[in-house]
Amino acid sequence: MTMADDAPPSRRWLARLARRLRHVRRIEMRGASLRRKVMLVVLSTTALALVLSAAALLVYELQAYRQSRIADLQTQADLIAGATAPALDFNDRTTAMEKLHMLRLRPLITAAVLYRGDGTALASYAQTDDVTRDLPRQVQPAGHVISGGKLELFHPIRQNGKQIGTLYLRTDYEITHRLIDYVLILLAVMGASLVAAALIMARLQRALTNPILQVAQVARDVMTRGDFTLRAPKTSADEVGELVDAFNLMLAEVGARTAALEQTNQHLSVEMAERRRAEEAVHAAARRKDEFLATMAHELRNPLAPLSNAIEILRRLGDSDPALRQRAMDIMGRQLRQLVRLIDDLLDVSRINTGKLMLRTESIDLVRVLQGALEVATPLLDKRHQHLQVHLPTGPVYVDADATRLGQVFGNLLNNAAKYTDEGGHVTLSMSAQSEGGVAVSVADDGIGIAPEMQSAIFDMFMQVDPALDRGKAGLGVGLSLARQLVLLHGGRLSVHSDGLGQGTTFTVWLPSGAPPTRELPPPILAQPPLRPKLKVLVADDNVDFAHSLCSLLAAMGHQVDVSHDGRGAVAQALASPPDIAFLDIGMPQFNGHEVALRLRADPRTSACRLVAITGWSQAHDRLRSQASGFDHHLVKPVDMLQLQPILATIGTPGAA
């Protein structure tokens, strides 16, 4: 770091000002002083204005001269045409020559020719013999032409509305001498104007330049003495005076702001350090995003590969091997559920971040929720030959919560414990009451553990415990973030503890205790099968494969199914043959699902039809809009028969609502 870098801001500013002033001084020493510059600016501006004015005046005068010459020659042509018309009518050459020779009294006209109607010359006139040789031998169209210093005019001669001949006139059009005269006059006027401007400016420029030079002198004195109390004298109240005032105010503030600038530099240093940390965080988030995208692609391909294989098995196998066919269908079902789970996790995170996730809280038995989560995680634990230890109370433990969401939390924690523990390892699920008025549930394993520096970031979105881990275990990196946010929504907390890599991990969920339910819930009433299961069904979806596959399932159940792939066709199909139930996609061409539902509800033939929305839109406002459009149910793709059968079973006889 140089000495200039260590100098206070005021010194650095004065150093720059001094360099600028030395530059100005060098210019003055070379003879280009401020006064000369101002004089040059004024005189150059005046000269430019005079040149433009002179050019405009010159152009105007030339145009006026041209128009006057043409108008004069036109007037002469009118007079001569009137005088020679009788001679032309009687083909009297002698009279025509006499009339043309009267042009000797008009020395500006150098030649004239009188043409008959057939274009032959009747008479001519020329000042000299040289002019006679240049006379045109043929009649040209009416009008004037300026060329070679001559102005020529062909003027038609008419009598009783009929053209009986043509008159040709020529005159000299010498513009050079006139142009020279104009230029000389304008140069004289411009010279006199510039001299007058120079004399006036010589008297006035001191009032303009002296205050500026005094400001420069004060700036030099401030630089040499370091005295910020010096001021430049103000001699006028115009813009120059305002410049002097501004300079003096600037000098007054420079000293006071030096300390403030130094303090600002300190703040800037702190902010730069914080910005570097923020940039590092952004880069880390970008890396986690890239890792998440790569992981998501891997996780999506994992179920897609066996799905593709199972489809190929069904295509090649047909009905020849029922056992293998059933195995392929089981594979497809498991992998489809895996895809749905991945998508649901991402959607749940989005709903929580936007505040759109609604909990259906009630007094529930937490022990039952944990038992349900164990049922979900047991297949993975068995597959990896891991030892599960469960320590749960024998009686119920009540909390006010959403059973589905808590099952999602504990299922995620148990699956993580199984994935990040080696085969033959140990996983423990335990519950203990605490004095804080709540209950704690722990999921512990003796797996890979978590490094101390990673434990504070393990709940971040897209964070992987070990990026180098086998991708078959990695997951999307959203499960723990989703679990913690769900626990927070319940008024609880989720914490993690690990002694380090290879030392296992323990996740602990604390939830506030709840009161037992006031009454026992009645057992669910199973829907009775329809009296007439054969229904008229309409399926409308622009996804052709989905529409036809759903039609095949419904037809296999014994229903009569019609299909359409756009909204307009769905309305026409429903009005032509009213269905008992219609499954409608929302995002269809021509009419969307909402428009179709409104049209069907408005028509008496289909107003009682059961309407079911089947769509990929799953937010709360999507369901509310479906309800407002007249839908009875809102199902999110993909759907299975467990969702469709209860809806179909609620419909009575065909045609009933």
Residue 582, pLDDT above cutoff 90:
yes
Structure tokens at 639: 């759907």
Could you list the beta-strand ranges (E) of 329-425: 362-365, 387-391, 398-401
Which of 140-154, 426-440, 574-588 reaches the highest mean pLDDT?
A: 574-588
pLDDT number for residue 598 = 93
Residue 544, pLDDT above cutoff 90:
no
Among the ranges given (65-69, 134-138, 227-231, 387-391), the one the predictor scored with the smallest mean pLDDT: 227-231
* Phi then psi dihedrals of residue 431, to 5 deg: -130, 140
β-bridge pairing 150-159 and 387-391: unpaired
Using alpha carbons, list the distances in angstroms from residue 423 to 297, 465, 480, 499, 536: 26, 18, 22, 21, 53
**Considering only CA atoms, which of 469, 431, 425 is closest in space to residue 450?**
469
* Phi then psi dihedrals of residue 440, to 5 deg: -115, 135
CA atoms within 13 A on the CB side of 117: 11
Among the ranges given (25-29, 217-221, 257-261), the one the predictor scored with the smallest mean pLDDT: 25-29
Cβ contact 365:398 at 8 Å: yes
Among the ranges given (44-53, 153-162, 237-246), the one the predictor scored with the smallest mean pLDDT: 237-246
- Interatomic CA distance for residues 414 and 380, integer angstroms: 9
pLDDT number for residue 443 = 92
Read out DSSP for 154-209? EEEEEETTEEEEEEEEEEE---HHHHHHHHHHHHHHHHHHHHHHHHHHHHHHHHHH
pLDDT per position as a tens digit, 276-292: 888 888 887 777 666 56
What is the mean predicted confidence (pLDDT) over 33-44? 70
β-bridge pairing 162-172 and 362-365: unpaired
Residue 119: DSSP 8-state: S
pLDDT per position as a tens digit, 466-508: 544 443 444 555 677 778 888 888 888 888 888 888 888 999 9
pLDDT number for residue 529 = 43
Percent of the chain with pLDDT over 70: 75
What is the mean predicted confidence (pLDDT) over 135-159? 84
Among the ranges given (212-216, 535-539, 556-560), the one the predictor scored with the smallest mean pLDDT: 212-216
Cβ contact 642:622 at 8 Å: no
Sign of the dihedral defined by the CA atoms of residues 615, 617, 618, 622, in that order: negative
Residue 10, pLDDT above cutoff 70:
no
- Interatomic CA distance for residues 226 and 233, integer angstroms: 19
Question: 27 pLDDT band (50/70/90 cuts)?
Answer: very low
Which own/partner contact pairs does 34-42 have at CB distance under 8 Å and 24+ positions apart? 34/209, 34/212, 34/213, 35/205, 35/206, 35/209, 38/201, 38/205, 38/208, 38/209, 39/198, 39/201, 39/202, 39/205, 42/197, 42/201, 42/205
Question: 530 pLDDT band (50/70/90 cuts)?
Answer: very low
Which of 177-186, 337-346, 398-407, 567-576 reaches the highest mean pLDDT?
A: 567-576
- Interatomic CA distance for residues 146 and 3, integer angstroms: 79
485 CB-near residues (< 8 Å, 6+ apart): 349, 352
pLDDT number for residue 207 = 64
**Considering only CA atoms, which of 475, 486, 463 is closest in space to residue 353?**
486
Residue with tokens 């936007």: 354
Q: What average pLDDT is seen over the chain? A: 77
Using alpha carbons, list the distances in angstroms from residue 640 to 14, 249, 309, 540: 80, 80, 21, 17
Convert 434-463 into a string of H (helix), E (strand) and C (coil).
Answer: ECCCEEEEEEEECCCCCCHHHCCCCCCCCC
**Considering only CA atoms, which of 488, 486, 508 is closest in space to residue 498?**
508
Strand ranges across the sheet with 536-540: 560-564, 536-540, 581-584, 610-615, 633-636
**Chain-centroid distance, C-alpha 6:** 45
* Residue 641 or 168, more confident: 168
Cβ contact 128:170 at 8 Å: no
pLDDT number for residue 526 = 40
80 CB-near residues (< 8 Å, 6+ apart): 99, 100, 103, 112, 167, 169
Structure tokens at 380: 């993975």
Using alpha carbons, list the distances in angstroms from residue 147 to 60, 144, 174, 425, 472: 20, 10, 10, 112, 95
Cβ contact 620:628 at 8 Å: no
pLDDT per position as a tens digit, 355-393: 556 677 888 888 888 888 888 788 888 888 889 999 888
Among the ranges given (169-173, 395-399, 530-534), the one the predictor scored with the smallest mean pLDDT: 530-534
pLDDT number for residue 346 = 64
* The overall pTM is greater than 0.75: no
Q: C-alpha dihedral over 249, 255, 256, 258, to 10 degrees?
A: 130
Using alpha carbons, list the distances in angstroms from residue 437 to 295, 510, 514: 40, 10, 9
pLDDT number for residue 253 = 77
- Interatomic CA distance for residues 614 and 599, integer angstroms: 18
- Interatomic CA distance for residues 222 and 228, integer angstroms: 6
Residue 2, pLDDT above cutoff 50:
no
Sign of the dihedral defined by the CA atoms of residues 233, 234, 240, 243, in that order: positive
pLDDT number for residue 572 = 92
Residue 120, pLDDT above cutoff 80:
yes
> For the chain, percent helix, then strand, then coil, each to nearest 5?
55, 15, 30
Measured N-to-C along each axis, helices 239-317 and 322-353 cross at an angle, to the nearest 10 degrees, of: 160
Residue 462, pLDDT above cutoff 60:
no
What is the mean predicted confidence (pLDDT) over 625-651? 83
pLDDT number for residue 29 = 47
Residue 263, pLDDT above cutoff 60:
yes
Which own/partner contact pairs does 59-62 have at CB distance under 8 Å and 24+ positions apart? 61/182, 62/175, 62/179, 62/182
Q: What is the helix (H) or strand (E) element at residue 581, kind and residue range?
A: strand 581-584
pLDDT number for residue 655 = 40
Enumerate the β-bridge partners of residue 115. 121, 166
Residue 249, pLDDT above cutoff 70:
yes
- Interatomic CA distance for residues 71 and 155, integer angstroms: 13
Structure tokens at 508: 């602990």
pLDDT number for residue 409 = 85
Enumerate the β-bridge partners of residue 167. 114, 155
Among the ranges given (64-68, 359-363, 564-568), the one the predictor scored with the smallest mean pLDDT: 359-363
Residue type, 268: L
pLDDT number for residue 574 = 92
* Phi then psi dihedrals of residue 463, to 5 deg: -80, 130
